[in-house]
Each structure stands twice: as C-alpha cells, then as structure tokens.
C-alpha cells in the first residue's frame, strides 16, 4: 500500500523533509540494528564507476551524509565535479553545512527530479538513492535522468523492497489517532521498489543490474523503535505505540523489523 502524500512535492518540502529530523530518527535505528552508515557508504562508493574528471549529479542528496563520508574517507576524487540537489531548501542548507566543513567545492541546487534544469547529456553519473519513490511521476523522473546523462553514463539508484519495514507499517495501521489518518498510512517507497523499478528503468537504460541486501533486525531499545514509527507520515497515538513496542520487547527480548533494500545500477 502506497502513501500518495509522499509523492507530493509541497508535503515533502514543508513537512516530511523540511529538515533532517525525521530522517535522523530512521538513521539512528539502522545505525544500531541494520547496516551502519560507514558500511553502507563504503558499499556505495565501491560500486560507483566514475572515471577521472567525472561530472556527477546527486538527486535527493538530503543532508549529504554519504558525500561527507566519502570526503572524509578519500573516496571523492579531487577531479570530480559534483552537484548536489534536493527538493527541500532545508535539506540543501544542511548539505551545504556538512560539505563546506570538508573544504571542497561542490555545487548545490534546489531541484525537482521531474523537471531538471540541466543541459542534455551533461553528466557522467547520476546518484538517486532512496528518492525516486518520492517523484510525482517515476517515468518522467527517469526520462529526465536519462536526458541529462551522457551516452554510456551510469545511474545508481538505491531503493527498498516491497517487504521492507513491514512491521512499522503494521504499527501505523494499529495505532493511528483516528480514521482521518488512514490516507497517510502506507509505504513511502511503494511507488519505486526493487520489484517494480527495474521495468521502469529499462524504458530508458540498458544493462540494468539489481543488487539486493536483506536481513532481519532485532531491536532492543523501545525508544529507537518508537522514534522511527513516529517519523513516518501518519499521526500515531504515541502512548499506545510505546506500550505495544515495550510489551513485545519484554515478551520476546526484541522488536523484529524486516530490512530489505538494494540498488539498481544501469547504463544509458
């Protein structure tokens, strides 16, 4: 079940991602119980096939933690020209703060993936991690990405599986404050998953590779679990959520969460 509001540009810009606070609640969970950021970011850069003097466009950069890690760990070549974009001015502000500490010159732009203000065939690589499901139109977004990429260039697009965080979705269903919140229940990533995304990408790209990474997380800190649940889009009954999570951890010793994610690597 999809949450259509998570494809609405105004909602994303002013609510869901006005700043990184909700995203940080989810990062805190995965850092403890999923894949630590150092490992995830290393895996990203290990997959990138960017040559010398590459022009790189990152769509939906958020607070740019991945690029910050890449700079701190010597994974961003000094001859790369990197443009970081996001729909949210708040995210761009945080990205600028994080990157300028590294004393490297990046370009920052507020941009909508469905209407990119960049020249045709101007980039050697596009990264679009955990963001294509937020596009108002995935076909239009992929057409725009293809347009700005040079022939033979690469797209790297991380996303989630249909089964990812199913348990958090169940918490939303059980503990919404009232029925007016029903339209806001659903998975943000349902519009572009590991299952349905490949066919979308193949309309514009060849050699589409799908890499999967699945695991089961056993969370033992109820606050971390509750904070993640509250960072999602539906308004939940906080006391009832906390009570249910604490009860399950007391009974089983952990709160089980399915982690099912991955990346598309495609060449134009």
DSSP for 118-176, please give it.
S-TT-EEEEE-TT-GGGSS-HHHHHHHHHHHEEEEEEEEEEEE-TTTTHHHHHHHHHHB
Q: With respect to residue 92, please indicate whether it lies within any of the assigned structural domains.
A: yes
Residue 5, token pair as written in the block = 């509001």
* pLDDT, position 19: 86
Does 129 fall in a domain? yes
Residue 69 domain-assigned (yes or no): yes
Res. 186: pLDDT tops 80? no
Evaluate whether 152 touches 49 at the Cβ level (below 8 Å): no
Q: Is residue 33 part of a domain?
A: yes
Residue 42 lies in a domain: yes
The DSSP 8-state label assigned to residue 115 in this structure reads: B
CATH number at residue 105: 3.40.50.150
Q: Rounded mean pLDDT of 127-137? A: 96
Can you give the residue range of the structural domain that contains 95? 4-162+183-214+261-267
Indicate whether 238 belongs to any domain. no
Burial 110-120 (b: 16+ CB within 10 A, else e): ebbbbebebee
pLDDT for 205-260, tens place per residue?
988 999 999 999 999 999 999 999 999 988 999 999 999 999 999 999 999 999 99
pTM for this predicted structure: 0.93
pLDDT band at 1 (very low <50, low <70, confident <90, very high): low
For 37-72, what is each residue's pLDDT tens digit?
A: 899 999 999 999 998 899 999 999 999 999 999 999
- Average pLDDT of 120-126? 98
Mean pLDDT computed over 259-265: 96
- Flag whether 63 is in a domain: yes
Is 26 part of a structural domain of the chain?
yes
Residue 209: phi and psi, rounded to 5, are -105, 140
Total domains in the fold of the chain: 1
């Amino acid at each position: 079940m999809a949450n259509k509001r998570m494809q609405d540009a105004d909602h994303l810009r002013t609510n869901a991602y006005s700043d990184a606070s909700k995203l940080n609640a989810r990062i805190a969970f995965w850092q403890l119980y999923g894949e630590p950021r150092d490992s995830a970011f290393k895996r990203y850069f290990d997959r990138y096939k960017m040559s010398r003097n590459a022009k790189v466009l990152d769509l939906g950069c958020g607070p740019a933690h991945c690029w910050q890690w890449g700079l701190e760990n010597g994974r961003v070549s000094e001859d790369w020209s990197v443009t970081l974009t996001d729909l949210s001015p708040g995210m761009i502000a945080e990205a600028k703060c994080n990157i300028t500490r590294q004393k490297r010159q990046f370009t920052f732009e507020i941009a909508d993936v469905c209407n990119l203000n960049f020249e045709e065939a101007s980039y050697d690589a596009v990264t679009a991690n955990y963001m294509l499901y937020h596009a108002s139109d995935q076909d239009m977004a992929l057409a725009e990405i293809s347009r700005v990429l040079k022939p033979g260039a690469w797209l790297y697009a991380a996303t989630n599986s249909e089964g990812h965080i199913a348990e958090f979705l169940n918490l939303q269903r059980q503990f919404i404050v009232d029925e007016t919140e029903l339209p806001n229940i659903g998975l943000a990533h349902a519009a572009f998953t590991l299952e349905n995304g490949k066919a979308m990408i193949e309309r514009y790209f060849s050699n589409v590779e799908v890499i999967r990474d699945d695991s089961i997380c056993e969370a033992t800190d109820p606050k971390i679990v509750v904070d993640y649940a509250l960072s999602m889009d539906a308004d939940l009954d906080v006391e009832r959520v906390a009570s249910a999570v604490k009860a399950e951890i007391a009974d089983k010793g952990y709160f089980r969460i399915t982690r099912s994610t991955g990346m598309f690597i495609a060449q134009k």
